């Protein structure tokens, strides 16, 4: 059996999304900025329509949608673009310790260029306290960036409250919505954010295309300089196929969203309960209520290493992820798990299982059958665990 349980890392490309993209790789190959002949105009018209459809899905205006090459680019643009465009107003940025590296590394880069960054602590389930945002604001603060939902432990942050505080203080507020799309309803007016980032491959769209929503009136510098695409704010020949794919995937993600959320929640809870029932010495990371992303499960298993669990799951055809800094391939424990207060040795033994709308009960049952003996076997090889057993 092959089971894919790493939907927080990426998702499969929906077949109808691919269908929507294909014409832009074949017949409609024109450059969307070439208006003097038909194949260019067709591409241009497609981009206009796609932008409108994406705006409608996000509750935004058409001229507030900017296509990027990824979620990482959208995040980097939001942080660096606002910082450099507003530096005469102030040099202070507020974010949290559990943001994606696209945000954290962009902030660290800005610290080398004269900006001050406050990295807010989170509580034991990964929640940012809006009061802490308020307290951190100074007369130099120009930007607050707090993610809507965390990609590792699934915490959904109190975004509307934070947005309200920023609005009152007239500070630009950005939120990384990459994990939120397809897992909760997202409308920019309801969120109250000035900027949001999304990425198509996290909701059954293609890799390599994202959107930065920028509310009209936000002052932001370009990240990619060159031609006049994206209303002069983001150069590069339009990736029309990618845009079409993102658009279709977004529409599909929002279709019957409630049903999909309830299915994913059911699969998530079956996994959580099953693991808690079957495996001793484990801890669920992140909240266990309606502020948890509907598709995310994250456990720490004492006395073992996350990587060994992944290898053994892979031998059984199960794709999952560990609590180590996944993207870098490094073995450092995750900054998110450390931020919620896990000691290094426990953070190391972490496993993330993220379900999708297509995850079945049979797949969950299979994981619940395979995982407990794997954990038991790995613990049997651990001298620490041996001591625990002996002292009991």
Ligand X SMILES: *Cc1c(COP(=O)(O)O)cnc(C)c1O
Binding-site string for ligand X from residue 171 to residue 190, where x marks contact by CB under 6 A and - marks none: -----x-xx-----------
Side-chain half-sphere CA neighbours of 98 within 13 A: 28
**Binding positions for ligand X, 210-229, rule CB under 6 A:** 210
Three-class SS of residue 294?
A: coil
Residue nearest ligand X by beta-carbon distance: 71
Pairing relationship of beta strands 296-301 and 350-354 according to DSSP bridges: antiparallel
> What is the spatial distance between Cα 265 and Cα 271, in angstroms, rounded to a whole number?
10
Nearer to ligand X, 72 or 106 (CB): 72
Name the minimum Å distance from CB 208 to ligand X: 8
| Tokens matching residue 190 | 């309801």
Please say if 282 is a catalytic residue. Answer: no
Using the contact rule CB under 6 A, the part of the chain among 197-205, 230-238, 245-253, 261-269 near ligand X is 197-205
Nearer to ligand X, 130 or 206 (CB): 206
**Binding positions for ligand X, 137-176, rule CB under 6 A:** 147, 151, 176
Nearer to ligand X, 196 or 374 (CB): 196
Three-class SS of residue 247?
A: helix
Q: Is 202 in the site for ligand X (CB under 6 A)?
A: yes
Q: Is 204 in the site for ligand X (CB under 6 A)?
A: no
Nearer to ligand X, 130 or 210 (CB): 210
Strands (E), the chain: 3-4, 65-68, 92-96, 116-120, 141-145, 172-176, 195-199, 210-214, 282-284, 296-301, 318-319, 321-322, 350-354
Name the minimum Å distance from CB 375 to ligand X: 26
H/E element, 83: helix 71-85
Q: Is 95 in the site for ligand X (CB under 6 A)?
A: no
Paired residues of 300 in beta bridges: 283, 350
The Cα angle at residue 67 between residues 64 and 68, in degrees rounded to 5: 130
Binding-site string for ligand X from residue 97 to residue 116, where x marks contact by CB under 6 A and - marks none: ---x-x--------------
Across the beta sheet with 195-199, the strand order is 65-68, 210-214, 195-199, 172-176, 141-145, 92-96, 116-120
Nearest Cα residue to 203 out of 238, 247, 244: 247
Nearer to ligand X, 75 or 363 (CB): 75
Name the minimum Å distance from CB 69 to ligand X: 8
Name the minimum Å distance from CB 62 to ligand X: 22
Q: Are the CB atoms for 223 and 76 separated by under 8 Å?
A: yes
Nearer to ligand X, 105 or 382 (CB): 105
Name the minimum Å distance from CB 71 to ligand X: 2
**DSSP structure string for 173-214:** EEEE-TTTTTTS---HHHHT-SEEEEEGGGGTS-SS-EEEEE
Total residues interacting with ligand X, rule: CB under 6 A: 15
**Binding positions for ligand X, 63-92, rule CB under 6 A:** 70-72, 75
Q: Which residues bind ligand X (CB under 6 A)?
A: 70-72, 75, 100, 102, 147, 151, 176, 178-179, 199, 201-202, 210
Catalytic positions, written as ranges: 326
């Amino acid at each position: 059996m092959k089971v894919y349980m790493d939907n927080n890392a990426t998702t499969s490309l929906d077949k109808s999304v691919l269908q929507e993209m294909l014409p832009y790789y074949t017949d409609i190959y024109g450059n969307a900025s070439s208006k003097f002949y038909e194949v260019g105009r067709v591409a241009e018209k497609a981009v206009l329509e796609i932008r409108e459809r994406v705006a409608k899905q996000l509750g935004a205006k058409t001229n507030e949608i900017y296509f990027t090459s990824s979620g990482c680019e959208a995040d980097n643009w939001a942080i660096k673009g606002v910082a450099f465009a507003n530096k005469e107003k102030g040099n202070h940025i507020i974010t949290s310790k559990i943001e994606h590296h696209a945000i954290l590394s962009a902030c660290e880069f800005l610290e080398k260029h004269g900006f001050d960054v406050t990295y807010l602590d989170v509580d034991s389930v990964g929640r940012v306290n809006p009061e802490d945002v308020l307290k951190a604001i100074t007369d130099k603060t120009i930007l607050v960036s707090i993610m809507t939902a965390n990609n590792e432990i699934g915490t959904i942050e109190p975004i509307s409250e934070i947005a309200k505080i920023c609005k009152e203080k007239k500070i630009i507020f950005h939120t990384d919505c990459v994990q939120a799309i397809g897992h909760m309803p997202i409308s920019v007016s309801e969120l109250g954010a000035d900027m949001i980032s999304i990425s198509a491959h996290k909701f059954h769209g293609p890799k390599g295309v994202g959107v930065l929503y920028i509310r009209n009136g936000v002052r932001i510098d370009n990240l990619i300089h060159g031609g006049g695409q994206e209303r002069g704010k983001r150069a590069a020949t339009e990736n029309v196929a990618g845009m079409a794919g993102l658009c279709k995937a977004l529409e599909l993600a929002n279709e019957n969203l409630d049903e999909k959320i309830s299915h994913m929640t059911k699969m998530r809870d079956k996994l959580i309960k099953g693991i808690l029932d079957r495996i001793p010495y484990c801890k669920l990371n992140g909240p266990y209520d309606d502020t948890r992303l509907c598709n995310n499960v994250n456990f720490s298993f004492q006395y073992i290493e996350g990587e060994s669990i992944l290898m053994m799951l892979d031998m059984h055809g199960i794709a999952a992820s560990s609590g180590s800094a996944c993207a870098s391939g490094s073995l450092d424990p995750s900054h998110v798990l450390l931020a919620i207060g896990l000691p290094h040795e426990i953070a190391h033994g972490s496993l993330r299982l993220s379900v999708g709308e297509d995850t079945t009960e049979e797949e969950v049952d299979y994981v619940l059958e395979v995982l407990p003996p794997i954990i038991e076997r790995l613990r049997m090889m651990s001298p620490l665990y041996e001591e625990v057993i002996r002292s009991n």
